[in-house]
Amino acid sequence: MTHSAVSRVVHFSLLAIATATLSAGCGHQSAKKTDAVTIKPGTRLERKGDEIMVCGQLFHTGAPVVLWTDPGGYDAYRTERRFSAIDQSSFQATTRAATTQKSIGVDSPNRYGLRRSVLTTQQAEEVRGGGWPLELLQEKVDQFVIHYDVAGTSQRCFFVLHDNRNLSVQFMLDIDGTIYQTMDCKERAWHAGVANSRSVGIEIANMGAYASGESELYKQWYGKDENGRTRITVPDRLGDGGVRTKNFVGYPARDELIVGEVQGRTRRQYDFTPQQYDSLTKLTATLCTVFPKITADYPRDEQGALITKVLTDDQFDAYHGVLGHYHVSKDKSDPGPAFQWDHVIDGARQMMGLPKKSAHGAVKTVPTTQPSNLASAEVSR
């Protein structure tokens, strides 16, 4: 019986993966030589700690990655609440608690589903019964949606999504640059409404963007160090916030509040951390390589400028690449005005060995004549 790991993801100095084959044959054959290396049955294959999983196959990113199967990981496949007392964590106990705790919106044991809307009936039956071939998933996934979590840390984000809101996302990115993968990319996570079936998503730990710079959340989450620099201050009630790097002190990549326009409104936001930008750039390069239909670019108008509002229906249907939640839904503003699109996209393209993005836009700007199919308060399923 043969089990193969994945071949290398090209163009990355840090994205090489060894292929190992375990074979247990009949008679006296107990091991097989592959590339002059004898690998015996039962040999443990060590992860490097930077791999993501797509269709059960591991791909290197060069960034720190914690899988849902790892100690300290966040498992979106589990039906119980992660942060409740164990005797109160089951789905049955959760639905009972929801009758008195209005913050709990868990009405299904699963927080994910099948990418049904992009599959034919035959494909859906094949995937439902036999799993996803990588080639089929590569054909269907063509968007990478970026969110901020308004939770502050990935631990808190998973608590809100999984325990309270019955939602999910494939990736979370903490303030220290640690990427958490909560489920295989083959799953349809509930994170971005109409984009779910054709996308993977990431929630980046950040307190979000507001019309006023005096948000109460900013007062709780940002302060000044002894040198007067803006730093992230995880509230005492959250302890260390579950941040994997012990005693980590996070600083926004830019010290001041960033002001910009999203959805036609002026908003203010503190930037993401340098560690987050570094890991996100590497993950973006990896996803755009593993999923060739995700173009390493963001939605731009005919002059090549970033589009800062929801795409029209026609634009969204035709778009394949990296985009923000606000490009998908008109009532969203993430990842906000502080997000440095060029830094991430240009860095990812360089890692992939691609030239700089073209000067012209990435979406067609012909207005749609169709009514919007995005409800103003649409949630992520």
The span from the CA of 328 to the CA of 305, in Å, is 18
CA-derived radius of gyration, the chain: 22
Q: Any idea what DSSP says for residue 257?
A: P
Cα–chain center distance at 221:
22
Specify whether the CB–CB gap between 166 and 94 falls below 8 A.
no
pLDDT beyond 70 at 219: yes
Residue with tokens 């073209």: 358
Q: Which residue do the tokens 């201050």 mark?
A: 233
Predicted pLDDT at 197:
97
Coil/strand/helix, residue 22: strand
Cis peptide bond N-terminal to 41, omega within 30: no
DSSP string, 96-126: HHHTT-TT----SS-SEE--GGGS-HHHHHH
111-211+251-351 placed in CATH 3.30.70.100: no
What does the pLDDT average to over 74-98?
87
**Residue 85: which pLDDT band, with cuts at 50, 70 and 90?**
confident
Q: Over 80: is that where the pLDDT of 211 sits?
A: yes
Please list, in sequence order, all residues whose beta carbon lies within 8 angstroms of the beta carbon of residue 329, skipping any fewer than 6 positions away: 192, 193, 310, 374, 378
Q: Which residues pair with 300 in a beta bridge?
A: 306
Residue 42 burial (CB count, 10 A): 7
- Amino acid making up residue 139: E
Q: Where are the alpha helices (DSSP H) in the chain?
A: 91-98, 121-130, 134-140, 154-158, 216-221, 274-290, 313-318, 325-328, 341-351
d(CA 338, CA 340): 6
Domain edges within the chain: 1-46, 111-211+251-351
Task: Please write the tens of the pLDDT for every residue from 310-346.
Answer: 999 999 999 999 999 999 999 999 999 999 999 999 9
**What pLDDT was estimated at residue 81?**
86
Reply yes or no on whether the pLDDT at 11 is more than 60: no
CA 179, CA 74: separation in Å to the nearest integer?
Answer: 11
CA dist 217 and 237 (Å) reads: 14
Angle at 144 between CA 116 and CA 238, to 5 degrees: 105
Q: Which residue has tokens 């203010």?
A: 268
Which residues are within 8 A (CB) of 95 and not within 5 positions of it... i.e. 6 or more apart?
A: 106, 107
Q: How confident is the model at residue 365 (pLDDT cuts 50, 70, 90)?
A: low
Kindly report, residue by residue over 235-293, the tens digit of the pLDDT: 999 999 999 999 999 999 999 999 999 999 999 999 999 999 999 999 999 999 999 99
Q: Of 137, 155, 140, 189, nearest to 73 (Cα)?
A: 155
What is the value of pTM for the model shown? 0.86
Whether the Cβ atoms of residue 142 and residue 293 lie closer than 8 Å to each other: yes
Long-range pairs for 370-376: beta carbons < 8 A, 24 or more residues apart: 370/313, 370/314, 372/310, 372/312, 372/313, 372/330, 373/194, 373/313, 374/193, 374/194, 374/310, 374/328, 374/329, 374/330, 376/330, 376/331
Helix axes 274-290, 341-351, angle to 10 degrees: 50
